[in-house]
Amino acid sequence: MTEKEKCAKGLLYNANYDQELIEERIKVKDLCQEYNLLKNSVAEGRAALLRKILGKTKQNICIEPSFWCDYGYNIEVGENFYSNHNLVILDCAKVTFGDHVFIGPNCSFYTANHPIDFKQRNKGLESAHPITVGDNVWFGGNVVVLPGISIGNNSVIGAGSVVTKDIPDNVVAVGNPCKVIKNIMN
């Protein structure tokens, strides 16, 4: 089984020393750098480059520079997706965003998880676990979402939160660790 196949199954895999994965990361990071250097006035070029970077997109998406990801092909974004500046998505596993997702500045989504055992870490081993974000979700600035997290529809994640556990539909959640503080009644 290849390291990429192990990664897709959520197993420990070698991310740091596997040549195939290294080459894929270099390729997308070059594309991200190109995207980050494009002028805002080159809207069609920016949109086309995003579609080249990301695995699946709908029509209306906007990511303000700077934007960085590990592979790109593991990222799916829905309609009316907006991210403010300095978005980081470490997409070793699938990261899926629903429709009408708004992300504040300096937010990060991490699917990579590293072993506690330093001997395994030093061998370059890690595992990856998907992140799923529902529809109509708003992230305040400086939010970090950790591996394996699901965030429900219509929820709000407050600025500065570190999301360590799943968040249900229709809530406001804040803090480190992020906790539900309020239900949203529609």
Catalytic center residues: 114
Crossing angle between the packed helical segments 19-37 and 43-53, to the nearest 10 degrees: 170
CA contacts within 13 A on the Cβ side of 177: 7
Exposed/middle/buried for residue 186 (C-beta within 10 Å: 0-12, 13-18, 19+): exposed
- CA gap 47, 57 in Å, rounded: 10
Beta bridge partners of 139: 103, 157
Strands 102-103, 138-139: pairing is parallel
Query: Distances in Å between the alpha carbon of 103 and those of 6, 10, 61, 113, 159?
Result: 30, 26, 12, 22, 10
